[in-house]
Structure 1
Amino acid sequence: MNDETKTPAHYAASTLSEALPFIQRYDRQTVVIKYGGHAMVDEALSEAFARDVVLLKHLGVNPVIVHGGGPQIASLLERLGIKSEFRDGLRVTDDATMEVVEMVLSGPINKSIVRAINKAGGKAVGLSGSDADLMKVRRASRTKKDPDSQVEQLIDLGFVGEPERVDVSVLKLLTDYDYDFIPVIAPVGFDGEGKRYNVNADTAAGAIASALGASRLLLLTDVAGVLDKDKQLIREIRADDLDGLIADGTVSGGMIPKLETATNAVKNGVGGAVILDGRAKHALLMELFTEHGAGTIVL
């Protein structure tokens, strides 16, 4: 039978057959997915993402989702008339802002993802980093060098946290095959005094993936992956190469913290971290179940 006589059913069967080795590779493996960007706000992409996550579960994968929500938070802050303060380009999270952050992340965003997955046939459960001692954090701080004195100055970002300890016992219970739940996690953590903090979703996903010993960390973003100086996709990066890529200008801007998260996760036991284009439909399936993947993998 030549290609001209093949039906759509033949192509579908062929694709499934070719995917078999990759399905076997990820059987009973945990994959942590950072969900954000355009994929979250585009209705068609959101529905496709939910279906793909349910498919992963049925194929034997344990998906764990950590989501962001920056645009939705900014929108509600504007509607409520709460002005954001920025220090050295970074948003300061004060009490009023933190109230909105937790409301949006743990409320409508988290539950909309849960509903979409359940509608697609899965069993999703919404959590935040505050539930079951999942994510204990420390107050984050940044420094910048004063241009005149060259002295490092501390930048107080308010209630912005960095993961200090991750207890994944509740995630292991939920993803056990006796229950088959899909955790959906809002990146809100707490410190030793019980104060709540906003955590960058990439950072939270990396910390959770490391604590779970995940086979893969998938960071959905709004670009195809890491591009070289000729704007061509770099398929693979070794963790030790990051400093050189930053130094020669290949990696810059917002891609730097994403790659830092990816390399830290790999160095802490994650099998591989992938930066991939969340705007591409079925990006998760292409990355996990095809030979060349769909983004840039850090190993």
Structure 2
Amino acid sequence: MTSSTARDHAAPSQPDRQEVADRLLRSSEILSYDPVREVDWETPLDTAYHGASPEWSTLFGTAYWDEMTPEQQRELTRQEAASVASTGIWFEMILQQMVLRDFYAKDPTDPAFQWALTEIADECRHSIMFARGAKKLRAPAYRPRRLVVELGRVFKTVASGEAAYAAILVAEEVLDVMQRDWMRDERVVPFVRTVNNIHVVEESRHMKFAREETKARLEGAGWLRRQINAVVVAGASYFIVTSMVSREVYENAGLEPERAVREAKRNEHHKSMLRSSCSGLMEFLGSAGLLTRASLWFYKRANLI
């Protein structure tokens, strides 16, 4: 989730914004987690488990997957889960900066201000949790390509209003569907299931706020503004989603990287999983006027539609 500067766009109506923020603050008080205590960090990694549901692997359903031993399959899903976690850290650092920029020097008695700080605290805990989880999965520090890192630097500096909220929402929704599957799957190593459960519960509040802010910021928006922001959101979404699984995971899982990348790019099963995970999101973007002919090009390239 992220936010925008007040000077760029009109703020959401104050009573509605305060009501949503108050409700989210109450929910956070009732149901929040401390990953340091909730996650089993001490038990050694059991390599008899997957790191993620096999069906979400980028190679599941390919000839290469069928040739792999069960041990290789499990190792691949562990490396892929660690890559998704590392990408999540990169992304959460972007949104934390955007939220701080938005609420700088604003009224601290406003529930929205207090919710923003609550969300930042959540994201800090999530990033540490993901970092510890990736280490426990015996994975290196996966990072997006240098170009994507620099584009992210620009995005966090200039994105505002509905462009910022909606782009963050795309990443959160895709990850949410993925992790809901992983947290229920008994084939997945228990500590990863706990990590996913914590993230799903707490991110549901962030997604609620992002949706409400996106709709509010678009009230009264003209055709040109919607067209421009639709492309910005779609472009950001493309780079976020395509950065989730680093190509380095294949070498670290003991596979042939070139072949693995080729088969992953042609994997219709994985493309179908991504599209199904985004059906509700695309319906929301369409209702908000953020699905345009130009933006569809990016979503199709990212296999989100």
- The TM tier, using the shorter chain, reads under 0.3
Higher RCO (CA-CA < 8 Å; seq separation 6+): 2
**Structure with the higher strand share, 1 or 2:** 1
* Structure with the largest fraction of helix: 2
